[in-house]
Amino acid sequence: MRSGIIPGHRDESIRPQDDLFGYANGTWVRETQIPSDRGRYGTFDMLREQSDERVRHLIEEAAAAAEDSPEGSPARQVGALYRSFMDTQTVERLGRTPIDADLAAVAALDSSEALFGLLGRLQRQGVPGALDLGVAPDARNPEEYILYLAQSGLGMPDESYYREERHEAVRAAYLPHLARMLQLAGVGDGDPAVGSPAARVLALETRLAAHHWDNVTTRDALKSYNPHTRAELEARAPKVPWAAWVDGLGAQKAFDRVVVGQPDYLDALSAAVDEVPLEDWKAWLAFHLVSSVAPLLSEEFVDAEFDFTGRVVSGLPENKARWKRGVGLVEACIGEAAGRLYAEQFFPPAAKERMLQLVDNLVEAFRRSFEGLDWMGEQTRAEALAKLDAFRPKVGYPDRWRDYSSLVVDEDLVGNARRASEFEFERQLGKLGGPIDRDEWLMLPQTVNAYYHPLMNEIVFPAGILQPPFFDLEADDAVNYGGIGAVIGHEIGHGFDDQGSRYDAKGALRDWWTEQDRARFDERTRALIAQFSELSPAAAPEAKVNGALTVGENIGDLGGLAIGYSAYRIATEGQDVPELDGLSGPQRFFLGWAQVWAGKARPEEARRLLAIDPHSPTEVRANAARNCDEFHDAFGVADGDGMWLAPEQRVHIF
């Protein structure tokens, strides 16, 4: 049996007692260059590259045989869409032509009603607007779907970029970017001077951003659940032309009752519609239109968009190769069609069987943890166990594939993308009034990731992540439980983190904790927030982790480690666990955990992620093992070592 430890990644000059991440990944970090088309690079990215290469091969096969495939079949649609993107000769010849009619419609707008009517039509086709919207189960009644509305309207990553000093360089580059994109759209001459269209767009977005909730507040499940009737929406934001927007969306019935994520933003949007000149709104819409479609247009549009979003915001020297962008487009538009081809070739039944065994052991480990938690009372414990019993795991790929056969895919690249957006928009609206689709997946089979869905109370593990170093059919249990086992524990743990714990076994937003248990839980989460808020990424040591933003994922990581280790013990009960590669079973478990977080980032990307990403930097996640008593025991960590954390400072939640 092989251990599953990646050869050549470790740095033996670093003691695991001082830096587990450095010990597990130091040689890799030192010898690996971040590819020029990426802001960060690590295990997830390497697996995504492998997945992309596989999907590329499948897509190119499909493109070559597209004419011979049945009309409306996954192979034909995947091939035709990819081929339309790779036809650069046609793309260059068309230039801005595919959006000229829309830009003319923007220029002709003469009222706020006309503006919001056009916004609705364009949002159906994938152009972002002043409000975002989506369909999901109602958090208060998860047996029914409802429409959710959220703040939107910004061109930088989030509201903090419009006000915080740490983003000043990006903010300074944004104004000339606005001017350049507007010039390409035929609005203005590219001059970013005061009073120019670009300056007016920036002023409008800055005004909207001032009323956006920050990411910490937005992730609060209780604060962000605000049901409104159509009449209440209109009363709250009377200057927003709701009827025109809803008509443009073609979503009249969807607005009888909606959930508003950030009600304060509606107030601000209404005032902006009333007070900001229509010409400013027209320039704003022209920018968002051309920006959203730029990746599908000629090189001057592609380069202009990438110069800001890639080079300035994320620090990328180069854009991705065109084939990679083509694969991304196929996955964004008709991803399950490509995923179906992927799953048929790259996910064997044995992998699913082994994963389900791992899930069973993780669930049992959680059960034992809940039964023994000293801070959880009997009433809360009973509800937690009921929620655990109701968990549903999904592994590999969907049981039922999405049907794209009615979607027209031809040589018209922008038309293909827009029809795909409308297809998905109508699919989402079609859920309203119908039964909850418990077979739906929110990730593609080829995705290198996993998720927990609080409204469905389910954990989902796509085939893309079920490969080394996360999961290896031929590897030792210790490394598999430290890798994918801890990920399983992490996702289950989201059902009981600071926000997931607000939802019950049926996915309803309901307070099932006693006040005393919630207070004890909150005491632990506050300690975790304080601990992580002192840490910094290697790429931006002057910046700190936002412990309040990352607390849910940090709870998931600690739960994944603790429960993953417990599940490893369950899996090896009664066995004589051998030493492999000079490491004991417990040591291999923690090394398996740390090696999946191999990664590094450019400073610009590290700062962007600190602002918007609810996950901590990779090195911080790996070294979260310092909270585990079992880690200290496995490596003999002592006071004075870099990884040492005094027992009273270790945060134990599950």
3-class DSSP string for 538-568: CCCCCCCCCHHHHHHHHHHHHHHHHHHHHHH
The pLDDT tens digits for 299-308 are 999 999 999 9
Cα distances from 359 to residues 256, 307, 457, in angstroms, run 40, 44, 14
Residue 356: CB partners within 8 Å, gap ≥ 6?
A: 393, 395
The alpha carbon of 84 is separated from its chain's Cα centroid by a whole number of angstroms, namely 27
Instruction: Classify 106 as helix, strand or coil.
Output: helix
Residues 81/404, Cβ–Cβ less than 8 Å = no
DSSP code per residue over 232-267: HHHHHSTTS-HHHHHHHHT-GGGGSEEEES-HHHHH
Place of tokens 């369950």: 570
Helix residue ranges per DSSP H, 494-546 = 515-532
Backbone angles phi, psi at 462, to 5 degrees: -65, 160
Q: What share of the chain is helix, strand, coil (3-state, %, to 5)?
A: 60, 10, 35
What is the SS3 assignment for 369-426? HHHHCCCCCHHHHHHHHHHHHHCEEEEECCCCCCCCCCCCCCCCHHHHHHHHHHHHHH
First to last CA, the chain: 31
Under a CB-based contact definition with an 8 Å cutoff, are residues 357 and 473 in contact? no
Judged against a pLDDT cut of 80, whether residue 287 lies above it is answered with yes
Instruction: For Cα atoms 531, 552, 556, give the angle at the middle one, nearest 5 degrees.
Output: 90
pLDDT tier at 627, thresholds 50, 70, 90: very high
Q: What is the mean pLDDT of residues 110-125?
A: 98
Q: Measured between alpha carbons, how far is 110 from 555 in angstroms, rounded to an integer? A: 51
Alpha-carbon dihedral sign for residues 564, 567, 571, 576: positive
Q: What is the mean pLDDT of residues 121-147?
A: 97
For residues 53-79, give the mean pLDDT.
86
With bands split at pLDDT 50, 70 and 90, how would you rate the model's confidence at 74?
confident
Q: pLDDT category, 350, cuts 50, 70, 90?
A: confident
Q: What is the pLDDT of residue 615?
A: 97
The identity of residue 209, as a single letter, is A
Residue 524: other Cβ atoms inside 10 A:
17
CATH number of 99-319, picked from 1.10.1380.10, 3.40.47.10, 3.20.20.140, 1.10.1060.10: 1.10.1380.10
Burial 558-596 (b: 16+ CB within 10 A, else e): bbbbbbbbbbbbebeeeeeeeebeebebbbbbbbbbbbb
Residue 422: per-residue pLDDT: 98
Mean pLDDT of 349-377: 91
Confidence of residue 22 (pLDDT cuts 50, 70, 90): very high
Half-sphere CA count of 176, side-chain side, radius 13 A: 8
- Per-residue model confidence (pLDDT) at position 349: 85
Q: What pLDDT is recorded for position 471?
A: 92
Rounded Cα–Cα distance for residues 308 and 608 (Å): 13
Residue type, 122: L
pLDDT of residue 37: 95
Mean pLDDT for 545-570 is 95
Q: How much is the CA Rg of the chain, to the nearest whole Å?
A: 25
Q: pLDDT for 200-237, tens place per residue?
A: 999 999 999 999 999 999 999 999 999 999 999 999 99
pLDDT score, position 366: 93
Is the pLDDT confidence value at 431 over 80?
yes
Task: Determine the average pLDDT of the residues in 262-287.
Answer: 98
State residue 348's pLDDT score.
Answer: 84
pLDDT of residue 67: 72
Q: Locate tokens 């600190």: which residue? A: 610
Report the pLDDT value the prediction gives residue 571, as an integer from 0 to 100: 92
In sequence order, which residues have a C-beta less than 8 Å from that of residue 515 and are 6 or more positions away?
none
How many Å apart are CA 372 and CA 286, to the nearest integer?
A: 59
Q: How far apart are CA 596 and CA 599, in angstroms?
A: 9
Of residues 151, 220, 260, the one with CA closest to residue 552: 220
Question: What's the rounded mean pLDDT across residues 132-149?
Answer: 97
- The pLDDT assigned to 69 comes to 78
Confidence category of residue 251, pLDDT binned at 50, 70, 90: very high
Picking from 355, 352, 370, 358, the residue whose alpha carbon sits closest to that of residue 570 is 358
With CA atoms as reference, report the closest residue to 589 among 577, 575, 573, 576.
577
SS (H, E, C) 111-125: CHHHHHHHHHHHHHC
Q: Is the pLDDT of residue 194 over 90?
A: no
Q: Mean pLDDT over all residues of the chain?
A: 95
Contact 85, 417 (CB under 8 A): no
Range with the poorest average pLDDT among 106-120, 354-368, 607-621: 354-368
pLDDT level of residue 239 (50, 70, 90 thresholds): very high
Residue 312 pLDDT: 97
Q: Tens of pLDDT along 432-460?
A: 999 999 999 999 999 999 999 999 999 99
Element (H, E) at 131: strand 131-138
Percent over 90 (pLDDT), the chain: 91
Estimate to the nearest angstrom the gap between the alpha carbon of 601 and the chain centroid.
17
Residue 95, judged by CB atoms within 10 A of its CB (0-12, 13-18, 19+), counts as middle
Q: How far apart are CA 230 and CA 368, in angstroms?
A: 47
- What is the C-alpha separation between 591 and 6, in angstroms, rounded? 10
Report which DSSP code applies to 641: S
pLDDT for residue 71 = 82
Q: Domain coordinates of the chain in residue numbers?
A: 99-319, 330-649
Rounded-to-integer distance, Cα 392 and Cα 399, Å: 13
Topology (CATH level 3) of domain 330-649: Collagenase (Catalytic Domain) (3.40.390)
